[in-house]
Structures are given as C-alpha cells and as structure tokens.
Chain A
Amino acid sequence: MQIDDALLSKLENLSHLHVADDKREEIIAQLSEIVSFVDNLSELDTTGVSDTFSMTDNGTLTREDTPSCNTQVNENIISNSPKSGDNYFIVPKIIE
C-alpha cells in the first residue's frame, strides 16, 4: 500500500507532531515500504481465529479497593514539571 502526502498529514495530526519538510518524501517512502511489507499477513488464513488477544489466560487481576496516597510522589512530580505553581501544573492558555 502507498502512503501519500494527504495520508501523512492526517497521521501527523493524529500523532500531534510535524515531520520536517525536508524529511517528508523520505518518510512517505519508508512508511509505504513498511506497510507494503506487513501486508503479507493477508497471506495467512485467520478464519475463525479470535480477534482478542490477552497476555494472561486467567483474566485481569483484581484487588481490594483501599485508598492510598504517597504525597511525597505528588510533590516530586510537581517540583520536576516544566512549569508549576500552588501545587498545579501551569499550561499554556486554552481559551484565547
């Protein structure tokens, strides 16, 4: 399958990142080559095979829902964030 410029732009938007202008052609070629390769899965007959794969055969583990909080971890996270104040993350303005 061939990836084109329009599809790359869509993927950039979904990914929230920009591919540098001088890299676009190269990355389109690389992605097309990789996607064409993985198309080989269509050679395998998977009729009747379950489409949900789980790493454990025993289902998801559960535990008692007891509240716990190590506030030191919160403080560490806030103090190392790019911008913070009064125990909050400071982010760019959302509403212009």
Chain B
Amino acid sequence: MITLKEALKLSKDELKKFKEELRKDIEARAELNGYVEVLDHGDGVPIAIKDNIQVNGWSVTSGSQILQGYIAPYNATVIDKMSEAGLSAFGRTNMDEFAMGSTTESSFYGKTQNPHNADCVPGGSSGGSAAVVGAGLAIAALGSDTGGSIRQPASFCGIVGMKPTYGRVSRFGLGAYASSLDQIGPMTQNVEDAAILYDIISGHDEKDSTSVDMKDESVTDKLNSDRKLKIAILPKYIEDASNDVKHAYGVAIEALKKAGHTIVEKEMIDAKFDISAYYITATAEATTNLARYDGLRYGSRVEGKNLKDTYFKTRSQFGAEVQRRILLGNFVLSSGYYDAYYVKAQKVRQLIKQNYENIFKEVDLILSPVAPRTAYESGSLEDPLEMYLSDIYTISVNLAGLPAIALPIEKNADNMPVGLQLIAAPFQEQTLFDGALSLEKSL
C-alpha cells in the first residue's frame, strides 16, 4: 500500500484509478469485516473513518443497533479539515458498540478479524480502522481513543496509532462516549504519515468548547529524528506484561540507546488505581452522554404503550457491555455512592496527573507497553473485569489528557505484531513524533 505522503502527490485521475482498485481489494477480503460500508465522500486521498465520526449524508451508528437509520446531518470538524487538505472520507470502519470494548467483538455488524491471524481480534474499539490499515486495505484511517482505543488496536494490527493531547483535535461530530477522555487521532502505516494526518485534523475549533485555543504549529515540517531526548523506562510497571511485550521493551530500549537517547528509570502509581479511576469516570460520563438515545429524535425507536415504555423498549436495544456501563455509571453517580466513587475517582485522577507531571519535570518521553500481550484469540476476553484489566497500560494517558503514540516494534514467534507506546507531556506533540520517528528508524 502506498503511504499517505506518496498518495498526496497523486493526481485526481490517479486517485480515481487507485480507489477503483482499492474497492476490488476490499471486496476480495470481505471476511476481514473491517469496513462496515465502502462509501466515497469526495475526490481526495481516501481515508477510512471510524463509525462514530460524522460524515454528512453517511449512516453513522457507533456500531450499535440503536443508531440504525441515523444519517449524519453535518460533517465532523475533522472531516471538513481533511477536505480542505485534499483528503476525503472513504468507507466507515467497524468498532465496538459505542467504543466500549477492547476487541471489536461487540459491534452490531459482527466481529472484525485481525489481519495477521483470522482467529485473533484486531483489538478495539477502533478495530476496523486498525485492521484495514494493517491489511493494506486503507492508506490511513481515523479512530477515537477514550482509554486506548486507537493505540491498542494499532499495536495488535502492527500499525502506528496516535492519541493527541486532550483539546488538540476537535470532538465536534464525534459520537460522545466519555467527554473528558475522548480524542480523535490518526492510524497510519508509519510515524511520518501519522504526523501528516495529525497536522491536518488538529487545531482550534470554536464548535468544541474543550478545543484548546493556541497557535497551531505543524509538526511534520519540523520532524527531527536526530534530537537527543531523555526517555523514562518503567521496569516495575512492566513486570506483569507477557514475555513478548517484555522482549519488545528490551529491544526498544537498546534501539533508543543506540540512537543516542538517555534512558532513565522511573516509577508510576500502581496501575490498578488507573483502572478504577478510569472505569468510574468513563461510565459516569457515558451514562450521561448515552441518555440522549431515547428513540425520539434519531436512530431506531421501539414503540411502547406510552412514552416511558418507549424509552425502556428503545434503550433495551443497547448491547450487553453498553448496558453494563450505563448501569455502572448510574451506580457511581447515584445518591449515597457519589462521594465514595465518583468524587474519589476525580481525586485519584489528580494524583495520576501529578505523577506524570513529576516525571515530565525530568524527562521528555516515557516508553510504555500498550497492552499486556499480543492480540487475544476471538472470544477469549469475555469476562468484563478481565477486559477492563487489559486496558492497564493505556488508560492513565487519557485520564491525564496526554499525547501518546503506539508503534510496531517487532513480531513474536507466532508472527503477531508487538507494539509499544511513547508518551509525552501535554502539547509536546513535536517531541512525541521526533522520538517516535527516531525509534522507528533505529529498529
């Protein structure tokens, strides 16, 4: 597959031909089930779009039954920004229902396969986007990351996935899951393409009140893999990771040393507290955001004998994991439990953020695993708590609003990709991409 950088040099005629071929290739690998629908939104460089980002006139359903029949009434800001840069939405990709999952198995449209092994999951929730890029069926894709939903599938499918600093990319037109954690980001074949796509979609947007109003500095034109950085490693933090991940961690450390970076050892708060703070915060916000799905204004309505019955019947269409998170969210927000759970989680969130701030006083980047292991076999991660625990290495980044990038390091003995992530201080995307490019080149 050609890279995004190369594709941006193609003429309109060449792009047209390219898309015709791409459609045939997608059809030939229909069993991958990465695309929900192959639609074309213009004559630009085709970019695959996760099914929770609005493209005017396209169906957009967050992989859910409850949004069947909903057509996006306007473009998400990222789609408008892409159009201005000569890119256009091409195909919507599969995802866990409402982005609540780590395997892309809970979608209304069925499971997506891992492009490297059909018996394994592509990760989630942006599993469709990761699978189509990993399979060579997309130049690049957009995903969204609330607790690792870009980085973990990128790692499982052997591609690059980047989560920007909270507020860097507009959330206008993104189906909301947990508003203080969600960010849209690029999923690409290499680090430079991620920088290119990040530059295109980032920037202040007055339609998103959490979008940061600061000078938009591009990173791609200043990419510099020769910068010597101070990078923290976390020996204690990775103790519970699989041998594959530990091996990749060692390989990456050696590569970074060889490239002239300084490696220092640091410690993080026990990650079990990240899991708790995250699942309390995310479910509380999700329960609030998903209150809007009542069947009155959009999506699929199930008529009941009166209004209340219509609400209940319509909302009972949510899948099991979404129902669980709505119930949990109402639990942590309800009278009598609010202080012990929700308020406590917000305090712990401060501690997690401070932990990062202290580390970033001394270092430029942190090297961390993305997931405890390589891609899971389909159906093996069915216990909800076990699935939540698999998010152990990604969620603190969202809780603290930091930028991070996952990139492939090597393949294990079963030929499955192993990825790691670099994490930077807020708004230090330039340093993040410089370090990632250096690591990519040194492997």
Asked if residues A41 and B277 are in contact (CB atoms below 8 Å), the reply is yes
A34-B295 contact, Cβ under 8 Å, with A80-B71, A93-B306: no
Asked if residues A34 and B326 are in contact (CB atoms below 8 Å), the reply is no
Cα(A60)–Cα(B350), bound, Å: 18
Asked if residues A12 and B167 are in contact (CB atoms below 8 Å), the reply is no
Does B307 interact with chain A (Cβ within 8 Å)? yes
- Which of the residues A33, A50, A52, A93 comes within 8 Å of B385, measured between beta carbons? A33
Q: Note all chain A residues with C-beta closer than 8 A to B343.
A: 51
Asked if residues B300 and A82 are in contact (CB atoms below 8 Å), the reply is yes
Closest chain B CB from A1 CB (angstroms):
9
- Which of the residues B71, B300, B315, B350 comes within 8 Å of A17, measured between beta carbons? B315
Asked if residues A34 and B388 are in contact (CB atoms below 8 Å), the reply is yes
Asked if residues A44 and B310 are in contact (CB atoms below 8 Å), the reply is no
Top 4 closest pairs, chain A to chain B, by CB: A76-B73, A38-B276, A82-B301, A46-B347
Asked if residues A19 and B323 are in contact (CB atoms below 8 Å), the reply is yes
Interface of B is mostly: helix
Q: Which residues between 27 and 79 of chain A lie within 8 Å of chain B, taking CB atoms?
A: 27, 30-31, 33-35, 37-44, 46, 49-53, 55-56, 60-61, 63, 70, 73, 76-77
Cα(A63)–Cα(B345), bound, Å: 31
Cα(A8)–Cα(B328), bound, Å: 10
Cα(A56)–Cα(B212), bound, Å: 8
Q: Which residues between 372 and 391 of chain B lie within 8 Å of chain A, taking CB atoms?
A: 383-385, 388
Give the size category of B's interface with A.
35 or more
Asked if residues A27 and B327 are in contact (CB atoms below 8 Å), the reply is yes
Residues of chain B at the chain A interface (Cβ within 8 Å)? 56, 69-71, 73-74, 166-167, 180, 206, 209-213, 272-273, 275-277, 279-280, 287, 291, 294-301, 303-304, 306-312, 315-316, 318, 320, 323-324, 326-328, 330-331, 334, 340-341, 343-351, 383-385, 388, 401
Cα(A31)–Cα(B330), bound, Å: 12
Asked if residues A12 and B298 are in contact (CB atoms below 8 Å), the reply is no
A63-B304 contact, Cβ under 8 Å, with A14-B330, A55-B167: no
Q: Note all chain B residues with C-beta closer than 8 A to A96.
A: 306
A92-B384 contact, Cβ under 8 Å, with A16-B315, A49-B350, A52-B346: no
Q: Nearest residue in B to A80 (C-beta to C-beta)?
A: B71
Does A87 interact with chain B (Cβ within 8 Å)? no
A93-B307 contact, Cβ under 8 Å, with A16-B315, A34-B384, A37-B385: yes
Asked if residues A83 and B301 are in contact (CB atoms below 8 Å), the reply is yes
Q: Note all chain B residues with C-beta closer than 8 A to A55.
A: 166-167, 180, 210, 401
Asked if residues B330 and A70 are in contact (CB atoms below 8 Å), the reply is no
Q: Nearest residue in A to B317 (C-beta to C-beta)?
A: A17
Q: Note all chain B residues with C-beta closer than 8 A to A76.
A: 56, 71, 73-74
Residues of chain A at the chain B interface (Cβ within 8 Å)? 3, 7-8, 10-12, 14-20, 23, 27, 30-31, 33-35, 37-44, 46, 49-53, 55-56, 60-61, 63, 70, 73, 76-77, 80-83, 89, 91-94, 96
Asked if residues A53 and B330 are in contact (CB atoms below 8 Å), the reply is no
- Which of the residues A19, A39, A51, A73 comes within 8 Å of B347, measured between beta carbons? A51
Q: Note all chain B residues with C-beta closer than 8 A to A40.
A: 272-273, 276
Q: Note all chain A residues with C-beta closer than 8 A to B385.
A: 30, 33-34, 37
Q: Note all chain B residues with C-beta closer than 8 A to A83.
A: 301
Q: Note all chain B residues with C-beta closer than 8 A to A17.
A: 312, 315-316, 318, 323, 326
- Which of the residues A10, A27, A34, A77 comes within 8 Å of B298, measured between beta carbons? A77
Cα(A39)–Cα(B332), bound, Å: 11
Cα(A56)–Cα(B21), bound, Å: 45
Cα(A54)–Cα(B306), bound, Å: 40
Q: Note all chain B residues with C-beta closer than 8 A to A18.
A: 312, 316
Asked if residues B307 and A14 are in contact (CB atoms below 8 Å), the reply is no
Q: Would you give 25 A-B contacts (Cβ < 8 Å), ordered by A?
A: A11-B330, A16-B312, A17-B312, A17-B315, A27-B327, A30-B383, A33-B385, A34-B324, A37-B388, A38-B276, A38-B279, A41-B280, A41-B341, A41-B348, A46-B351, A50-B347, A53-B347, A56-B212, A61-B210, A61-B211, A77-B73, A80-B70, A82-B301, A89-B297, A94-B306
- Which of the residues B275, B294, B311, B350 comes within 8 Å of A37, measured between beta carbons? B275
